[in-house]
């Protein structure tokens, strides 16, 4: 083999094969979505987080989210119909160590704006951490082309636990949701 090919194959293994295997093995993308709520959207968390200290990918995040924000305006929400965003995801080091879970809940919308094909929902949320839940964490949720989700949590408030980049995932289409029943039925 050529000398430069080995590092390239190794990087492919680390950045493509390993995360995909973890997502396919450990993600439960439809486990809590058995009964879809009218007007809600769902999706998966599938992200690799980089920590400044090591300047390389350190953590794999895998899970699911649900929201009623997509394709709505701020006036669509009130006390009886509040804006919602909830997520549950596993965080695990690339080495397979330090596996743990996080939940984002109690979202409250403070601002909404659209630029090109990106809708940005700003607000506050609660996130579970090792020492207990952190409340009133600034959060910014971006929906890009109705296909990609980006979740940014104020790094200082969460002690840089997720690095300094957003958590990414996908937005399920209606076709994705139609196929959810067949996942457990395959043999």
Coil/strand/helix, residue 131: coil
* Least confident among 43-57, 99-113, 114-128: 43-57
Give 160-170 pLDDT, tens digit per residue: 999 888 999 99
58 domain-assigned: yes
148 domain-assigned: yes
Structural domain total, the chain: 1
113 domain-assigned: yes
Q: Which range of residues forms the domain containing residue 66?
A: 5-31+42-175
- Is the per-residue pLDDT at 93 higher than 70? yes
- What whole-number percentage of the chain has pLDDT above 70? 74
Q: Could you tell me whether strands 148-153 and 118-129 are parallel, antiparallel, or unpaired per DSSP bridges?
A: unpaired
Long-range contact pairs involving 152-159 (C-beta distance under 8 Å, separation at least 24): 153/104, 153/125, 153/127, 158/127, 158/129, 158/134, 159/129
99 domain-assigned: yes
160 domain-assigned: yes
Give 128-166 pLDDT, tens digit per residue: 999 999 999 999 999 999 999 999 999 999 999 998 889
124 domain-assigned: yes
* Least confident among 6-20, 74-88, 134-148, 170-184: 6-20
CA 42 to CA 66: how far, in whole Å? 4
CB environment 86-115: b (16+ within 10 A), e (fewer): bbbbbbbebeeeeeeebbbebbebeebeee
CB environment 159-176: b (16+ within 10 A), e (fewer): eebbbeebbbbbbbeeee
- Mean pLDDT taken over the chain: 82
36 domain-assigned: no
User: Looking at residues 60-70, what average pLDDT do you find?
Assistant: 95
Among candidate residues 147, 186, 138, the one with its CA nearest the CA of residue 166:
138
117 domain-assigned: yes
- Please give the DSSP secondary-structure letter assigned to residue 36: P
Q: What would you measure as the largest C-alpha separation in the chain, in angstroms?
A: 64
- pTM for the model stands at 0.76
């Amino acid at each position: 083999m050529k000398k430069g090919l080995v590092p390239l194959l190794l990087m492919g293994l680390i950045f493509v094969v390993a995360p995909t295997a973890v997502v396919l093995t450990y993600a439960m993308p439809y486990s809590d979505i058995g009964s879809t709520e009218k007007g809600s959207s769902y999706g998966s968390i599938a992200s690799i987080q980089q920590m400044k200290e090591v300047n390389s990918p350190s953590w794999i995040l895998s899970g699911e989210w649900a929201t009623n924000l997509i394709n709505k305006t701020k006036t669509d929400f009130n006390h009886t119909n509040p804006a919602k965003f909830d997520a549950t995801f596993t965080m695990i080091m690339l080495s397979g160590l330090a596996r743990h879970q996080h939940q984002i809940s109690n979202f409250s919308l403070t601002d909404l704006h659209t630029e090109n094909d990106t809708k940005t929902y700003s607000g506050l949320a609660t996130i579970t951490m090792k020492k207990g839940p952190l409340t009133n964490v600034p959060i910014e949720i971006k929906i890009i082309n109705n296909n990609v989700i980006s979740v940014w949590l104020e790094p200082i408030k969460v002690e840089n636990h997720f690095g300094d980049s957003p958590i990414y995932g996908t937005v399920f289409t209606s076709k994705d949701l139609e196929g959810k029943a067949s996942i457990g039925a395959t043999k």
